[in-house]
Structure 1
Amino acid sequence: MLNIMVVDDEERIRLGLAKLIELSGDEFRVIGIYENALELLEHLEEEEPDLVVTDIKMPQMDGLRLIERIRERKPSVSIAIISGFSEFDYARQAIRLGVEEYLLKPVDTDELNALLERVRLKRIRERSQQITAKDDYIRLLAINGPDKLTDALKAEAEAALTEHPLFRDYYACFVLRASADRIQERIRSWSSGLNRETRVLSWELNETVLLVSIRPDDNTETIRSLGAGLLANLPVNVHVRAGTSGIYSSPLALNESYHEALTALHYAWYEEGIRVLASADKLAKRADEASSTLHRLIDRDFRSALHTLDSERAEAAIKTWIHEAGQTHLPWTLLNEHSALLQTLVRDEKAERGFSQEEETEAIYPAGYADWHEFGRALLQFVQEQTKLLSELQQDNRIIETVKGYIQEHYTEEIELSKLAELVFLTPSYLSKLFRVKTGETITDLIISLRIEQAKRLLATELSLKTYEVGERVGYADPAYFNKVFKKIAGLTPKEYRDRVRI
């Protein structure tokens, strides 16, 4: 809504102009009609005009002086002037004072409508920028503790927010996490009917922050009542966790208020149900001893079981940890640390056992899950899958080592894939694939490599042996084939190789 004041010493003109403005649309409202500049100035402080439309030549105080006085008191107000042709010099001076428009009498309706729409859009942009700027200051103070901001920046933010209606008395902070990402409009719609100043903000995935003004006669019960009403207004199928802060008064306390509400939300995250609200003043005490015990369950019990591939003991340790962490409502900071430690232990164990980690699973952290129970299930599933994978890896490693040991003892003989497969109780095709995946080479590659390395040693040390005899010693009965394979691997024929190493 654009609020407009009209001043002209001619009654017919000022009333006619006011009528034209009202006919221009519901978004334009005349809040004052005055016959002289002094009368308008008397009402200027009590009104909040967006636009003043003034005549230039008026008794007592002309339009130019009026513009100067308005600029002194309310510099952001837009001003338009109306005048006849004979007053054009005045109009030119007014334009220099930064007026929005110059309209000739009689006022053209289309020109007036264009002026009103232009001022309306200008006001929308200005208010949007003001809101955005204030929201930026709110985010700045909420996310960063006082010790992380310079004194100048804190003073700037405080000055920008002190006059904000939200901080005139008191306020409380609500932080919500929801399974749907389109609840902000519902929150805005609900908060607009509260008859309280509110701000709805978002700066984390699925996290919405609501600031609500608190009256001097309100109390913590008011905050809980507001929180309950907020949750009741959200869609019934949306999974929501919410936390509320206590009552605060200064913008510089935004960080404390936000983190208090966030801590309450983390507490609510542990509880069962579609919607849970936790108040900062109702949080249960948390024991440091419990945190230390929980850490040992992972760093000692789980680590030991993982290293010995005792999957049952590893799973039991994590189940105990999940139960105890849920009972104590372990703070998210510690929950993140414990989760990171667990996943690091698994990753390091896999790396130590030569496991390829190109297809790593996504990290498991509380922020990615709707509640504690969903997070706990994901963590347990992760442990079960990874311990199973490590057990399979251990078995695969034993198979590969058995096959390699047999080849090293019998590489000079004819080794059939079927015989190797029988040795480790696998099908030939599966063994062939497993060997290639685990070692990066085929079984044939390994046999050839061992034969050629032995041939090189014999060529260099057993000079009495003919080259074909060396070939026979390492498993090649056909001299031509031995020469071909040797040259392919060594880059030289057996004779050339012997001649070179003898130099």
Structure 2
Amino acid sequence: MKVILVDDEELIRLGLEKICLREGPDVEIIGSHRNGAEAWSQLSMLPPQGVDLLISDIRMPVMDGFELIERCRRSFPDLPVIVLSGFSDFDYARRALRFGVTDYLLKPIDKPELLSLLKRTAAARSSEESLSGGDSSALPSDPQPAPDHYVVERLKSLLESEYDQPLEFARLAERLGMNSSYISRLFKIETGQTLTEYLIGVRMSHAKKLLVEQPELKNYEIAEKVGYGDPVHFNKLFKKTVGMTPKDYKNAAYHPRSH
């Protein structure tokens, strides 16, 4: 598995390289860079299959991680990306999820967590290669735990970070390099929910938060913020999911019954 490391702290890069090479699943470090610009100089010269994983810091001089990831998405749309972040920059790491990153690691790096991510990435890569060589429209009769877990967690991450966007199965499948019917069935088997049901739950959770934290918002504004252009449809879904209308939920939050 070909890996590129990007961090402006040399000690962090050396530590990552040491862990990856000594204990990682057949890892080859093909690049170690101080900033996004250096990394992009190498990445821009590589073919689509020339790198298997990018591990990058977010806050760096010259070119930060966001710009690097954005450029990578144009040339390497399916490249798994793990972002690094200090605890004080945790919001940056969460924001990076909107850029389609696989996962994030907080500094100081937790060695078992890094190894787990490396193994999941390698297993997912292996699974996708085997699927692309056969009939990817059919769910394997004996799916391996690591790839399945990786795919499901990646789908959850995408839905949770892009809940305000329309749900397009083809687009999700394309970003994962897999068949849409495969990921739909896999998600249902692993979670007991369809992708649509899971997305509704995420959207309603955000809607409840908005109703309490921003009570000045109109119903249609909240609907739009959580991905619904039709406020009537949003109202019906909210009542079905939460058990009361958005208006009643807001009233209950601000005027709780006394016992």
TM-score (normalised: structure 1): 0.26
Bigger relative contact order (CA 8 A; separation at least 6): 2
TM-score (normalised: structure 2): 0.49
Structure number with greater Rg is 1
